Amino acid sequence: MRLMDVEPRKPTAKGPAEWFTGEVWIDTIAQGHGSSPMFIAAVHFTPGARTAWHSHAIGQTLYVTEGEGRVQSRGEPIVTIRPGDIVSTPGREWHWHGAAPDHFMTHIAVTEGAAEWGEHISDAEYHADGT
pLDDT digits (tens, 9 = 90+) for 2-51: 788 888 889 999 999 999 999 999 999 998 887 888 999 999 999 999 99
Per-residue pLDDT, 104: 98
**Within-domain flag for 76:** no
Distance CA 85, CA 89 (A): 13
**Within-domain flag for 4:** no
Per-residue pLDDT, 36: 80
Per-residue pLDDT, 4: 83
How do residues 99-115 score in pLDDT, each as one tens digit? 999 999 999 999 999 99
**Within-domain flag for 117:** yes
Per-residue pLDDT, 101: 97
**Within-domain flag for 58:** no
Type of residue found at 2:
R
Residue 90 structural domain? 81-122
> H or E segment at 40?
strand 38-45
Q: 34-39: list long-range contacts, CB under 8 Å, 24+ apart.
A: 37/112, 37/113, 37/114, 38/110, 38/111, 38/112, 39/109, 39/110, 39/111, 39/112
Q: What is the pTM of this model?
A: 0.92
Q: How many domains does the chain have?
A: 1
**Within-domain flag for 88:** yes
**Within-domain flag for 115:** yes
**Within-domain flag for 12:** no
Q: Can you say whether the dihedral through the CA atoms of 64, 41, 127, 93 is positive or negative? A: negative
Please spell the DSSP secondary structure of 76-116, one letter per residue.
Answer: S--EEE-TT-EEEEETT--EEEEE-TTS-EEEEEEEES-EE
How do residues 68-83 score in pLDDT, each as one tens digit? 999 999 999 999 999 9
**Within-domain flag for 41:** no
The number of beta carbons lying within 10 Å of the beta carbon of residue 119 is 10
